[in-house]
Amino acid sequence: MNDVVRLATRNDSSSSVRMWQSAAMTDAGAGLRTADFAAWLERRRRAHRFQVRRIPFADLDGWAFEEATGNLRHHSGRFFTVEGLHVVRGGPPVGPYQAAEWEQPIIVQPEVGILGILAKEIDGVLHLLMQAKMEPGNPNLVQLSPTVQATYSNYTGVHRGAPVKYLDYFVRPGRGRVIADVLQSEHGSWFLQKSNRNMIVEAYDDVPLEEDFCWLTLGQIAELMRRDYVVNMDSRTVLACCPADYDEAGALYSDTEVLSWFTAERARHDLRAWRMPLDDVADWVRDEHRIAHVANRYFRVVAVAVEGSSREVASWTQPLFEPVGLGLVAFVVRSFAGVPHLLVHARVEGGFLDTVELGATVQCTPRNSAHLDSADRPPFLDLVLNAAPHQIRYLALHSEEGGRFMHANNRYVIVEADEDSAPAVPPPGFLWVTPGQLSFLLRHGRYVNVQARTLLAILNARAVQL
Amino acid sequence: MNDVVRLATRNDSSSSVRMWQSAAMTDAGAGLRTADFAAWLERRRRAHRFQVRRIPFADLDGWAFEEATGNLRHHSGRFFTVEGLHVVRGGPPVGPYQAAEWEQPIIVQPEVGILGILAKEIDGVLHLLMQAKMEPGNPNLVQLSPTVQATYSNYTGVHRGAPVKYLDYFVRPGRGRVIADVLQSEHGSWFLQKSNRNMIVEAYDDVPLEEDFCWLTLGQIAELMRRDYVVNMDSRTVLACCPADYDEAGALYSDTEVLSWFTAERARHDLRAWRMPLDDVADWVRDEHRIAHVANRYFRVVAVAVEGSSREVASWTQPLFEPVGLGLVAFVVRSFAGVPHLLVHARVEGGFLDTVELGATVQCTPRNSAHLDSADRPPFLDLVLNAAPHQIRYLALHSEEGGRFMHANNRYVIVEADEDSAPAVPPPGFLWVTPGQLSFLLRHGRYVNVQARTLLAILNARAVQL
């Protein structure tokens, strides 16, 4: 046995090289031309017309508020529940824009889904198999999604339902080579400790092209990520995990120093969160159409009916979380000795499994801190809001997971700064790291939150080059 | 500003090289000779004589069972509590030696401590500052511990008590260079989601040598790790995290494949655990002296009084967890194409924060499965128990954290196997990885459990060379 064993190379840099090659092709690949993409997506949108209507909770089908707790659940026990969460933050003092203790509704869905992109070398270049997919909370309903978005129920076949196309590549070994596979957290403010498996698998054999799917290069997806509301969140988080060896001469801090800073941030913060009955959540009120914060901040829980135009298309009702305003997610960027650095923020979110993850420099809904004085607002918010056009390296609108969130739209921005506006020695909780260092951390879970991952996907795909 | 910034190299391999150099010096370093160590430790033991006596719970000072819950707690709210835990395992079917659902007592101590070893280059070789320290649960009371073992209360100074020597090196930046710093889990069967910061810091300046402390090379510590009950668990877990670039020509699986397998293991298992009143825990009974399982398996909760011989030395009482028998922790090892591989096991433990971590091939208390048929016992247990002397590459007894566990003694073993006894394609939940790959994972938390870390420390220090 021992004699015939062949060893693998532990670290294979070819995946990164091939990803950069794919990123270099922006106009066309072996499939759709980038210029033709919008028309193709529009055709897919028309092929399965959907209508999404807001409905009162009473019109939800199969969903009800549980008598004893007020928790919102499906009678089958499937999908997810909306419950209450009590959060207590210990550790360092919090700023005026943060609370030390609060209660809120939260989505509880304790299962690990798969977000998978199938890759295939075509004409010598890696192509990614992407899907036109409708999700009721997307502002334009149909966006570009990964090859597979599957819940645990989908892929274990516990529940009935149409089989998920291409799923086999991600759950059965031997059909492809794994390029990336890591559990990453979902939105910590809206989900309780939820994570999904982010996968890229390169198929060994020919892959049949199904309706609603198209092959795109990474460079083509980069072009689409410069447009508003085209590439969905699930695609973005998977692309953030793709191998990307950035060519960097060094960094302000060694990887060991970055890890040490992160460890200290995790150790000095203390997060305790426990589930509670939704009915008992303080400062939130329910009427026939929504559960909302008394000051109308943060988000609302609402209900929608999704109606398909044809027999083949399912109709259903479900609850969604709807933020109260347009969000802002921004990386402040500076070059040190010629190497671009991003200013990350160690964030506490109530639904994180492990205290803190790294977020973008700014992640907030500006409307929620509009009532605060400038000095009390989140650090660097004003820098981003007041940035001159020449400082803005990237700006596009993207929505978060449309299967759970209604019009959860964020302005994603990368802004250049200088020593005056963003010093080399930033406030506690912030650190300058390179894109390559974030990419190094993203081989592992629970380091980088989902919003920061969108911005890293944009860099990985070279939608912007710093 | 930008012009004067100097960048760091992201990856510095010099720490690993210097650790190997330190490991090569086994007989003597700049301080104590290895041959003189036992006498030194004995002198330290005599200098602070301690007596540990078992006492009934009623004689605990400041500790009591809470009226409503039966939880055991200190009246000050300090230290830790003993509560109940209800655990439900989902995912793949469990074997006869595992339960799918159970209740047990658990230690709740939701704070992050620091386990820190101070390093210093002396005569061109890295030396580690180790401490002779008494812990009531150690079979021989005094063992070799890290420079610093500090709870959060210790290092934030929230509570009174003597200052912790050398603590500044680990909590104040600028006094040394960080060599390793990572949050690692503690015992998942006895602690609820506990983790500690494992740190190695190299001092910039001269370090005064305090009583009870000594400078040792990594090679000297390796010699001591071949002896029973000398190097304590906290030292071992920190040494498992030290930079160690193993010289390996490759591995059966690439790092990406190992990560993907781990991700799949985490995703396919499902662990739900919640705290419950200790009084309500099924199958466990309390009398005046202990809380024990009805079949006398697993462990007992007991109480001790610790009495110092001199005025300078504190006396106190506390509860401890006491396992019912000698444990066994064993790595099965094979060489594939000339490269040694360890057979890791993805383990579910009730107190893990995130479902599974990698354990050794075998981790159990053989007595707990003595009532089972051979086929129903933990995989590879019989291989280890029946190993011929020439197959045993390492064997020593070590105890677990003596501040919480009473005589929690394990036989730590590394056993060679062949294709017949441990096939290249192992059962589900097992995978062959190299020591270098485990070391790569140990830069990050919650991959490798504390028992497997002891065996990796033994390899890192070269107490055995595979």
Rounded (10°) angle between helices B14-24 and B218-225: 60
Q: What is the pLDDT of residue A100?
A: 87
Rounded Cα distance between B241 and B182, Å, is: 8
Q: What is the pLDDT of residue A288?
A: 97
Query: What band does A90 get if pLDDT is binned at 50, 70 and 90?
Result: confident
Question: How confident is the model over A293-343, as pLDDT tens digits?
Answer: 999 999 999 999 999 876 656 789 999 999 999 999 999 999 999 999 999
User: What residues of B are in contact with residue A254 (Cβ under 8 Å)?
Assistant: 8-12
**Cα of B348 to nearest chain A Cα, Å:** 16
**Out of A20-24, A56-60, B87-91, B412-416, least confident range:** B87-91
Question: How confident is the model over A206-249, as pLDDT tens digits?
Answer: 999 999 999 999 999 999 999 999 999 999 999 999 999 999 99
**Cα of B302 to nearest chain A Cα, Å:** 29
Rounded Cα distance between B266 and A426, Å, is: 36
Q: Which letter does DSSP use for residue A265 in this model?
A: H
User: What residues of A are in contact with residue B180 (Cβ under 8 Å)?
Assistant: 256
Mutate to test the interface with A, among B89, B242, B254, B352 (most CBs of A within 10 A): B254
Interface size A-B, in CB pairs within 8 Å, comes to 149
Tell which residue, A306, A305, A288, has the closest CA to residue A58.
A288
Q: Which residue of A has its CA nearest to B170?
A: A264
Q: What average pLDDT does the segment A152-165 reach? A: 69
**Of residues A112, A267, A336, nearest to B7 (C-beta):** A336
Pairwise CB contact (< 8 Å): A424 & B5: yes
Q: What is the pLDDT of residue B1?
A: 44
Who's near A9: CB < 8 A, 6+ residues apart?
B250, B254
Rounded Cα distance between A184 and A291, Å, is: 28
CA dihedral B233, B238, B240, B245 (to 10 degrees): -160
Query: What band does A2 get if pLDDT is binned at 50, 70 and 90?
Result: very low
**Of residues B8, B114, B181, nearest to A253 (C-beta):** B8
Tell which residue, B50, B451, B60, B52, has the closest CA to residue B291.
B60
Assess contact for A162 and A172: CB atoms under 8 A: no
Q: What is the pLDDT of residue B283?
A: 96
Q: Which residue of A has its CA nearest to B1?
A: A419
B419 C-beta neighbours (distance < 10 Å), count: 11
Q: What is the pLDDT of residue A372?
A: 84
**Cα of B358 to nearest chain A Cα, Å:** 15
Rounded Cα distance between A446 and B445, Å, is: 10
Query: What ipTM did this prediction achieve?
Result: 0.95
Question: How confident is the model over A382-397, as pLDDT tens digits?
Answer: 999 999 999 999 999 9
Rounded to the nearest angstrom, the gap between the alpha carbon of residue A313 and the centroid of all alpha carbons in its chain is: 26
Q: Which residue of B has its CA nearest to A243?
A: B256
Q: What average pLDDT does the segment A168-187 reach? A: 94
Query: What band does A98 get if pLDDT is binned at 50, 70 and 90?
Result: confident
Say what percent of chain A tops pLDDT 90: 85
DSSP helix/strand/coil, A241: coil
Rounded Cα distance between A463 and A12, Å, is: 24
DSSP helix/strand/coil, B314: coil
DSSP A318-363: EEEEEESS-EEEEEEEEEETTEEEEEEEEEE-TT-SSSEEEE-SEE
| Amino acid letter for position A6 | R
Residue A1, pLDDT > 50, answer no
Tell me the helix, strand and coil percentages in chain B, rounded to 5.
25, 35, 40
Q: For chain A, what is the mean pLDDT?
A: 94
Q: Which residue of A has its CA nearest to B2?
A: A336
Pairwise CB contact (< 8 Å): B112 & A267: yes
**Of residues A178, A250, A353, nearest to B10 (C-beta):** A250
B94 C-beta neighbours (distance < 10 Å), count: 13
Say what percent of chain A tops pLDDT 70: 96
Residue A434, pLDDT > 90, answer yes
Pairwise CB contact (< 8 Å): B336 & A2: yes
**Cα of A215 to nearest chain B Cα, Å:** 24
Angle at A155 between CA A150 and CA A156, to 5 degrees: 145
Residues of chain B under the 50 pLDDT cut: 1-2
**Cα of B169 to nearest chain A Cα, Å:** 13
Rounded to the nearest angstrom, the gap between the alpha carbon of residue A450 and the centroid of all alpha carbons in its chain is: 4
**Cα of B415 to nearest chain A Cα, Å:** 17
Strands B409-416 and B327-336: parallel
Q: Which residue of B has its CA nearest to A420?
A: B1
Q: What is the pLDDT of residue B404?
A: 97
